[in-house]
Amino acid sequence: MQIETRLYERQGNAITNFSQTLPKPQSDLAQQLIKDPYNFDFLTLGKEAQERDLERALVDRIRDFLLELGTGFSFVGSQYPIEVSGQEYRIDLLFYHLKLRCFIIIDLKMVEFQPEFSGKMNFYVSAVNAILRHPDDQPTIGIILCKSKNKTIAEFALQGMTQPIGVSTHKIARDVPEQLKDIIPTVEQLEMELDSAIAELEGQNQGELDT
C-alpha cells in the first residue's frame, strides 16, 4: 500500500518552519513525520463537502486515518475544546504522538491555503502548550491540511511564526456519478460481504472438523 500510494515521495515534503522553531533532532523527526499530500482515497465526499464533513468522515474511518497518518499517532479527540480568557475554542482534530512525545493539532480546510490560517494555528498551538502540555512533553506541532496550496505563499505565511507549523494538502476520492451509485457497491457493502464470506467459510471448516 505504501508503494502504491508513493509514500517515499510524499513523506517529508510538507512546507514547515520546524528548523526555525524546534531543536534538533526533534525538527528533523517532525519534518519526516508529515506527508504531502495525505491520501484519503478511503473517503468519498461530494464537491460541496465542507470542513466538518471531512472531519466527520475521517473520525468515522479513524482506523484508516491513523494508518495514513503513520506510526505513533494517538487520537485524542475532534472538536476538542480549549478555553482562553473565558472564551471557548474548538480544535478540529487533536492527536498525541508517542515517538515525538508531543501534541499534534490538525486544522482541516477544504480550500486552498490562505495566509491567515497560519495565525489561527499559531494561536491554537500556543493555547495547547499553555493548557494541555505536560512539563515533560515536547513543543506542540500544528498541521494545516488544505485542499491545495501555493508554495511561496505558504512559506511566506510561516516566516516569523513562533510555533512549529506545517502546511500540507489532502487528496480525496472523487464522488461516484449518480448513474453509477446503484451499480457500484459502497465500501461498507463490500466489508459486509467480506465478513459474511469469512463467516460462511469458517462455518464450512467447522463442519468439516465435526465430520
pLDDT digits (tens, 9 = 90+) for 165-184: 999 999 886 544 444 445 54
Q: Is residue 45 part of a domain?
A: yes
Within this chain, do residues 183 and 198 fall inside the same structural domain, yes or no? yes
Q: What is the pLDDT of residue 205?
A: 66
Among 4-13, 95-104, 200-209, top mean pLDDT goes to 95-104
In the predicted model, what is the mean pLDDT of residues 84-104? 96
Within this chain, do residues 201 and 140 fall inside the same structural domain, yes or no? no
Q: What is the pLDDT of residue 174?
A: 53
Within this chain, do residues 89 and 188 fall inside the same structural domain, yes or no? no
Q: Determine contact, residues 149/112, Cβ cutoff 8 Å.
A: yes
Length of the chain equals 211
Within this chain, do residues 108 and 75 fall inside the same structural domain, yes or no? yes
Within this chain, do residues 91 and 74 fall inside the same structural domain, yes or no? yes
Within this chain, do residues 94 and 186 fall inside the same structural domain, yes or no? no
In the predicted model, what is the mean pLDDT of residues 1-6? 47
- State the residue range of the domain holding 189: 177-211
Within this chain, do residues 132 and 197 fall inside the same structural domain, yes or no? no
Q: Which residue has the higher pLDDT, 203 or 47?
A: 47
Q: Is residue 37 part of a domain?
A: yes
Answer yes or no: is pLDDT of 61 > 80: yes
Q: What is the pLDDT of residue 120?
A: 96
In the predicted model, what is the mean pLDDT of residues 141-153? 95
Q: What is the pLDDT of residue 176?
A: 44
Q: What is the pLDDT of residue 36?
A: 86
Which residues are registered as beta bridge partners of 108? 145
Answer yes or no: is pLDDT of 33 > 90: no
Within this chain, do residues 161 and 186 fall inside the same structural domain, yes or no? no
Q: Is residue 1 part of a domain?
A: no
Look up the pTM and report it.
0.77
Q: Is residue 150 part of a domain?
A: yes
**Count of CB atoms situated within 10 Å of the CB of 55:** 16
Q: What distance in Å separates the CA atoms of residue 148 and residue 23, rounded to the nearest whole number?
A: 29
Q: What is the pLDDT of residue 209?
A: 61
Q: pLDDT, tens digit, for every residue of 106-145?
A: 999 999 999 999 999 999 999 999 999 999 999 999 999 9
Strand pairing category for 102-108 and 141-146: parallel
Within this chain, do residues 127 and 208 fall inside the same structural domain, yes or no? no
Q: Determine contact, residues 58/43, Cβ cutoff 8 Å.
A: yes
Domain count, the chain: 2
Answer yes or no: is pLDDT of 204 > 90: no
In the predicted model, what is the mean pLDDT of residues 31-35? 88
Answer yes or no: is pLDDT of 156 > 80: yes
Q: Determine contact, residues 21/162, Cβ cutoff 8 Å.
A: yes
Min mean pLDDT across 28-42, 80-94, 125-139, 174-188 is at 174-188
